[in-house]
Chain A
Amino acid sequence: GAVVSQHPSWVICKSGTSVKIECRSLDFQATTMFWYRQFPKQSLMLMATSNEGSKATYEQGVEKDKFLINHASLTLSTLTVTSAHPEDSSFYICSARVGGQGSEAFFGQGTRLTVV
């Protein structure tokens, strides 16, 4: 199947700093990528839909100025957590569709963010 890779797999940062997480589709082009956040023992919560060449669409309650998304190419989307705080500590997961709407989505391995 198609491969979606995230980097880094885990990161520890100090409170107040910014952290960038990369999501790459390795063997296919993805016009749309999705960013999720998952707290321990909970489900994945969709944060935003990242569209190549245009602004991301954020879900209700997600601060767009805090979670900056850039989808500059068909194989790369980045999520930057700005001015991170301990409550931002979570598991961040991206996914990308191989084809258009309704096609199978593949998920990255996730990035564990810990803010201290």
Chain B
Amino acid sequence: GESVGLHLPTLSVQEGDNSIINCAYSNSASDYFIWYKQESGKGPQFIIDIRSNMDKRQGQRVTVLLNKTVKHLSLQIAATQPGDSAVYFCAEAHEIEDKIIFGKGTRLHILP
């Protein structure tokens, strides 16, 4: 289930199940979206990205969906593994402004 902690919401998922992490972005002018994974004490690690002219993109075990109408982004992780435990951030960028702005983040907790 999903719960909202003091700062970061946490999503708890059974190992082997699929995970869906959601994100609402703020700038309707953003045209590039990225998902990052951050493990404790480390910098963000690129997972997958998508441009505004697409609504779906698939990678290895991950899929990103983009709904520009409601400014919503989601990350689907198939067959979640213990190594997927981390904080996941969505980020948005605008080609002209050329800076990446991070969303609030979701902690993914894998249940054995």
Contacts and interface: CB of A to CB of B under 8 A. Distances in A.
Interface of A: 1, 4, 6, 32, 34, 36, 40-46, 49, 93, 95, 101-102, 104-110, 112
B52 to A, nearest CB: 11
B95 A101 contact: yes
Contacts of A1: 46
Contacts of A36: 102
Interface in B41-60: 41-46, 49, 51
B11 to A, nearest CB: 15
A104 B59 CA distance: 15
A94 B46 CA distance: 14
Contacts of A107: 36, 43-46
Nearest to A45: B102
Nearest to A101: B98
Interface stretch (B2-10, B12-20, B69-77): B2-10
Interface string B62-94: 000000000000000000000000000100010
A107 B46 CA distance: 8
A46 B43 contact: no
Interface of B: 5-8, 31-32, 34, 36, 41-46, 49, 51, 89, 93, 95-96, 98-105
The 10 closest A-B pairs by CB, nearest first: A107-B43, A41-B7, A44-B102, A101-B98, A43-B102, A110-B43, A107-B44, A102-B95, A109-B43, A43-B105
A4 B44 CA distance: 11
A74 B46 CA distance: 22
A112 B41 contact: yes
Nearest to A111: B43
B44 A44 contact: yes
Contacts of A109: 42-43
B100 A93 contact: no
Contacts of A49: 98-99
Given A43-B105, A44-B89, A95 B100 contact: yes
B7 to A, nearest CB: 4
Contacts of A42: 7-8, 105
